[in-house]
Amino acid sequence: TKITVDINGNPFVGITMLSMFWTNGPSIGWYAIKGTDSTLWWWGWDGGQGFRGDGTATSGHVLKPTQITIPGGRKVIQIISGYQAYALCSDGTIWGWGGGSCDVWANPIGYTCTGTDYLSPHQVANITDAKWIAGGNYFNYAITGNGSVWGWGFQANLGINKFGITGGILPGTPDNITADLNLPHPVTKIVTNSLTTHAILTDSTLWGWGNSAEGSVGNGAMLNRDRPTYPNNWGWNNVDNLMVLTPQQIAPTRHDFINIFGAMPYTRYKYAECVNGQLYFWGRNKTGMGGNGIIPY
């Protein structure tokens, strides 16, 4: 079915980027960037959690693309989403909204959030020269113009391990975590899914960290099928929780990675592409998503 017009009846064409949001309940929908004018659009169902970005807590369906305006009429060049939404604008600023509350534990949105601030785009703190963003859940990243990596959210997932895995300590606003990651070369691209982070460095190597439930880091850690609880309930305090707290090189024989493909929300697998077009897959393969002809159960 063609999506031909927006909510105002104007032609809806020229889309260059899509991103899905979902909160496992009252909100599910999509964002899109129109490359012709760098405007941001959304459609779907916002259960009053701020994903419509218009400052209201209205719940309901929006069945045709509706524009979201970033303050100052800024142009959007990248959109990521999951439990929150973030827009990277052409001036290097990042704007966040959604998530249903200003509770920093439930919604580490990247700025000092009070009242109903989450219902509309607000500028993420401390960063004015971002070139790339990743996340949309409880851990988020920005790469700035000088190659620094900034992060906000749960530190165990961010791979900086300042406080181990037991405290759940998190920076509510972005910190420069470049030195904490201790990677051998600068980062060129970061992509997240629901559990993990993967980065390509300037030497074209691939690195990963985070929660390796169902093998989602890709460093060979195996799922313990004898556990009595589902992966969502695997707490940080469990001795066998498979948290990979510092970056690990993935597929270390390859030094020619050019792309990572992953998405929020509720995905526990990724793909990576090498310069010759070879694809690699790792993580959850419940319904045969690995493309290798295997369904493990």
pLDDT tier for residue 55 given thresholds of 50, 70 and 90? very high
pLDDT tier for residue 239 given thresholds of 50, 70 and 90? very low
Residue 183 has pLDDT above 80, yes or no: yes
Least confident of 36-50, 158-172, 207-221, 256-270: 158-172
Residue 59 has pLDDT above 80, yes or no: yes
Residue 297: predicted pLDDT: 60
- Give the separation between CA 239 and CA 224, rounded to whole angstroms: 12
Residue 25 has pLDDT above 60, yes or no: yes
CA 258 to chain centre: 19
Residue 45: predicted pLDDT: 95
The secondary structure of the chain in percent helix, strand, coil, rounded to multiples of 5, reads: 5, 40, 55
Residue 79: predicted pLDDT: 98
Task: Report percent pLDDT > 90 for the chain.
Answer: 69
Task: Report percent pLDDT > 70 for the chain.
Answer: 90
Give residue for tokens 């904490």.
180
Q: Which residues contact 192 (CB under 8 A, 6 or more apart)?
A: 134, 135, 136, 137, 139, 140, 141, 198, 210, 262, 264
- Cα 197 to Cα 7, 28, 147: the distances in Å are 36, 23, 17
Please tell me which residue, 249 or 161, carries the higher pLDDT value.
Answer: 249
